[in-house]
Amino acid sequence: MPREQLIDIVAEMVANVLEVTVAPGAEVAAGQTVALLESMKMEIPVISEHAGTVTAVTVTPGDVVQEGDVLLTLRA
């Protein structure tokens, strides 16, 4: 039986958080958009590379994130 792991989804650049589309307890599919960021007037979707359950969301709309900041955590 595979062991569960926690996976952090992080910001890839400095950006403003426009929207978070999931909440703790939500099931996420690989390829699903989980947040929307804005940088230099461009909207950047944050897409999960893994399927799992959201265990924590660490940002809210209006937050400014730095490259590498954790946006949310999944249990895969």
pLDDT tens per residue across span 7-66: 999 999 999 999 999 999 999 999 999 999 999 999 999 999 999 999 999 999 999 999
Residue 4 predicted with pLDDT over 90: no
Please say whether the beta carbons of 32 and 61 come within 8 A: no
Structure tokens at 42: 């461009």
Residue 59's pLDDT is: 98
| Residue 45 resides in a domain | yes
Find the CATH number of the domain harbouring 67.
Answer: 2.40.50.100
Predicted pLDDT at 62: 97
Are 11 and 60 in contact by the 8 Å Cβ rule? The answer is no
Residue 22 lies in a domain: yes
Q: Per-residue pLDDT for 72 more than 90?
A: yes
Residue 60 lies in a domain: yes
pLDDT of residue 1: 55
Residue 39, domain extent: 6-75
Instruction: Give a yes or no: residue 51 inside a domain.
Output: yes
Q: What is the number of domains present in the chain?
A: 1
